[in-house]
């Protein structure tokens, strides 16, 4: 069966510091991968999605970037964090033949 | 008009009650409909997945889609305290856009 991992689970970072969040998927090949941010009262905001290695589509221009160095690895990065980057970051995958997505456990980021 | 509307609640019911959660949408191209359950500080978990109109039942959960009214529902019978969570609806038109459209979620509390 497929499993999706995210780490770290929780992160507290100072403003201006860099960021790297990692997501890996097991048990499937060539998944579509997604990064979301979830803020209280604002629902799920799609940040990036990828349909293959090195292929990244950005949904919202912002302080963040994404990379997909391997088939089942998706990385969310920032060179300098802003206070507004705080939130709950979720990675998801799709590609089991159904038009749906499966989410990871999430990373809670607090920028101080 | 937002693409997907979902009453954020909060909704509080006694244990054993029948719960009805709803979403309306505006895009008639949507064909795939999902309900996710999200416990506090966790990633969303796929609960129900349906295609086109009709009903789908899984244990105490029933998903209903009315495409003519652009309205979907999730019914929970014999609700339990463990059902306390945020419920998100999501939908997709299929094809190759790879993206789901989410409601903002309804917070449900089932009181023992």
Contact residues, chain B, for A101 at CB < 8 Å = 46, 90, 100
Q: Are A106 and B41 inside 8 Å of each other by CB?
A: yes
Q: What angle do CA A39, A103, A56 make, to 5 degrees?
A: 80
Using CB atoms, pick whichever of A43, A49, A104 lies closest to residue B98. Answer: A49
CB A35, CB A19: distance < 8 Å: no
pLDDT tens digits along B1-55: 679 999 888 999 999 999 999 999 999 999 999 999 999 999 999 999 999 888 9
- DSSP3 helix / strand / coil % (chain A, rounded to 5): 5, 60, 40
pLDDT at A92 over 70: yes
Of residues B57 and B97, more confidence is placed in B57
pLDDT band at B58 (very low <50, low <70, confident <90, very high): very high
Contact residues, chain A, for B90 at CB < 8 Å = 100-101
Q: Residue B100 corresponds to which tokens in the numbers above?
A: 């789901």
What letter does residue B82 receive in the DSSP assignment?
Answer: G
Query: Rounded CA gap, A95 and B41, in Å?
Result: 25
């Amino acid at each position: 069966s497929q499993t999706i991992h995210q780490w770290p689970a929780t992160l507290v970072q100072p403003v201006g510091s860099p960021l790297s969040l990692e997501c890996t998927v097991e048990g499937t090949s060539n998944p579509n991968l997604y990064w979301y941010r979830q803020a209280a009262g604002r629902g799920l905001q799609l940040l990036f999605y990828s349909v293959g290695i090195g292929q990244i589509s950005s949904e919202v221009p912002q302080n963040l970037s994404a990379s997909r160095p391997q088939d089942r690895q998706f990385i969310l990065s920032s060179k300098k964090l802003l206070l507004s980057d705080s939130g709950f970051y979720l990675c998801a995958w799709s590609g089991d033949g159904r038009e749906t997505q499966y989410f990871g456990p999430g990373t809670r980021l607090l920028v101080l | 008009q937002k693409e997907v509307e979902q009453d954020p609640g909060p909704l509080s019911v006694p244990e054993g009650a029948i719960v009805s959660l709803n979403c309306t949408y505006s895009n008639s191209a949507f064909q795939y409909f999902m309900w996710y359950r999200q416990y506090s500080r966790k990633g969303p978990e796929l609960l129900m997945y349906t295609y086109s109109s009709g009903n789908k039942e899984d244990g105490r959960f029933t998903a209903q889609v009315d495409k003519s009214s652009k309205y979907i529902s999730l019914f929970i019978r014999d609700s339990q305290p463990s059902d306390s969570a945020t419920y998100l609806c999501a939908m997709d038109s299929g094809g190759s856009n790879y993206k789901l459209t989410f409601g903002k979620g309804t917070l449900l509390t089932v009181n023992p």
